[in-house]
Amino acid sequence: MGMSYALNAAEVRDIFDYRDGALYWRIQPSKGTRAGTLAGAVQRRRPCDRGREQHVIQYKRVRYTRGQLTWAWHYGVWPDRVLGRRNDDVLDDRIENLRVADVSAPRGAKNVPHFL
């Protein structure tokens, strides 16, 4: 099951620069944000989720995770499933750390075979 995105994945490179796991604005997305600045902010997924933060970037009133945008920046397509982190650090969005997650696997179990 795929996810839908308002932003075309091919446009991501026109809007952001990628450096060391972070995205920087190539454009001025709003009056208060300059081109060249770090995009987004760290937010909790829900107020009750202590310690479960993620880096969120808003563009044209749509929120994206930095991991989704990093994936699209590198591959030119949106991830078709949830992204996980090889080192389990949800704030580490370096492309070499991102992977398509197996949502049926327990947290931390990266190579567990699943049988129907």
What pLDDT shows up at residue 105? 55
Task: Give the pTM.
Answer: 0.80
Cα(93)–Cα(113) distance, integer angstroms: 25
Q: What count of residues does the chain have?
A: 116
pLDDT average per 10 residues of sequence, the chain (116 residues): 70 96 96 96 73 87 94 94 91 95 60 35
What pLDDT shows up at residue 101? 85
